[in-house]
Copies of this chain bind each other. A is one copy, B any other.
Amino acid sequence: MVGGGQGAFIGAVHRLASRMDDQYELVAGALSSEPERAKASGLELGLRPDRAYGSFEEMARREARLKDGIEAVAIVTPNNMHFPVAKAFLKRGIHVICDKPLTANLRDAKKLAELVRESGRVFALTHNYTGYPMIRQARELVASGELGEIRLVHAEYVQDWLTTDIEKTGQKQAEWRTDPARSGVGGAVGDIGTHAYNLACFVSGIEAETLSADLSSFVAGRELDDNVQVMLRYGNGARGMLWASQVAPGNENRLVLRVHGTKAGIEWSQENPNYLWLGPLNEQKRLITRGGAGSGEAAARMTRVPPGHPEGYLEGFANIYKEAAAAILAARDGRAPDSDVMFPTVEDGVKGVAFVEACVRSSKRNAAWVTL
């Protein structure tokens, strides 16, 4: 693991997720950009002293040489480091599991995609919400034609934790997320807008061709956006709206997706993720529960406990690790993973960064339509 040391949040989530199905073991890490903290964090997590590295370069170099060196690395640093770290490991033939957004800018994203292709290594991007079983179910419903032709895709991801300028109070999570040097050009749009857009595409099976975005920084002195409103035009003529905000009091992680087609609509909410509403035209609405009646194969593969026993964020996150493990195992054997193995790839990451840049570009031009 690179990043995720003392004071970090998402690193612990990755470690927990990787442990869930007993397919990964944490044996080495460069857990901070500060060598001292990196080592201390490593020891705290029980790494052997010689594998608690002070820098990711050292780690990549050394691990590549070890006989039982790591097979895969998890990158959980701020956005700006994703590219150099991934590069360092990929070029040494180590698989990568990387947090999102892929990189701080589109140029790096495309380079990284090229590197991945050349390396032949597995690269999984933790757009973790695609790991929720009912999101798999939703995608399956759309793909099977249950919704008819898709007309409308509405996604929102609404939070309130940046309503005031807590980045000035020493809150580390807020600091780097509002800092262009570490986050890139996007604030809320990169941090959570990309999740919403990724989810919209994953489920609907279509992608936006053009968009019109209005980004705001409501908090005085904040350099990056903390609220983003987007209208989208999808390839097949479908229309979309997307709202991501970190300044909407009363919201924690309200990620909601609604997709409507000619025959039915669906709705899903991250805060109670074990349920999926299906509203077929002129029929009663149905509540599909994870593992319950009408919940199909795609969801079942991602499910660990019976219906009515809720699974949550960590299980969804772990599903990305589980899928990546399947791909890594296939790579070991020199074969392609099974066709039902699905995780966000470097290409999805490129699309996410393209989305961020398109939003920023559009917003600077007074929400003009721009091509993705």
Contacts and interface: CB of A to CB of B under 8 A. Distances in A.
Given A241-B241, A243-B154, A309-B313, A265 B282 contact: no
B9 A306 contact: yes
Given A252-B308, A310-B312, A310-B313, A151 B9 contact: no
A369 interface: yes
A286 B249 CA distance: 12
Interface residues of A, number: 82
Interface stretch (A53-61, A88-96, A273-281): A273-281
B279 A249 contact: yes
A66 interface: no
A337 interface: no
Contact of A249 (B231, B263, B313): B263
A293 B283 contact: yes
B313 A305 contact: yes
Contacts of A227: 151-152, 239
- How many copies of this chain? 4
A248 B152 contact: yes
A87 interface: no
A118 B18 CA distance: 40
A271 B304 CA distance: 15
Interface stretch (A35-43, A72-80, A108-116, A211-219): A211-219
A356 to B, nearest CB: 18
A285 B152 CA distance: 25
Interface stretch (A253-261, A326-334, A344-352): A253-261
A92 to B, nearest CB: 27
A296 to B, nearest CB: 12
A216 B119 CA distance: 45
A208 B241 CA distance: 19
A282 B287 contact: no
A289 B159 CA distance: 14
A287 B314 CA distance: 23
Given A241-B229, A309-B253, A312-B310, A163 B262 contact: yes
Contact of A151 (B233, B247, B369): B247
Interface in A297-340: 304-315
B283 A294 contact: yes
Nearest to A226: B151
A250 B239 contact: no
A20 interface: yes
A13 interface: yes
A252 B307 contact: yes
Contact of A251 (B245, B251, B279): B279
A171 interface: no
Interface in A143-166: 147, 151-152, 154, 159-160, 163-164
Given A241-B243, A311-B312, 7 more contacts: A152-B245, A231-B231, A249-B280, A274-B312, A286-B286, A312-B314, A366-B369
12 contacts: A19-B22, A152-B245, A160-B265, A163-B281, A214-B233, A249-B265, A252-B307, A252-B309, A271-B310, A285-B289, A310-B312, A366-B369
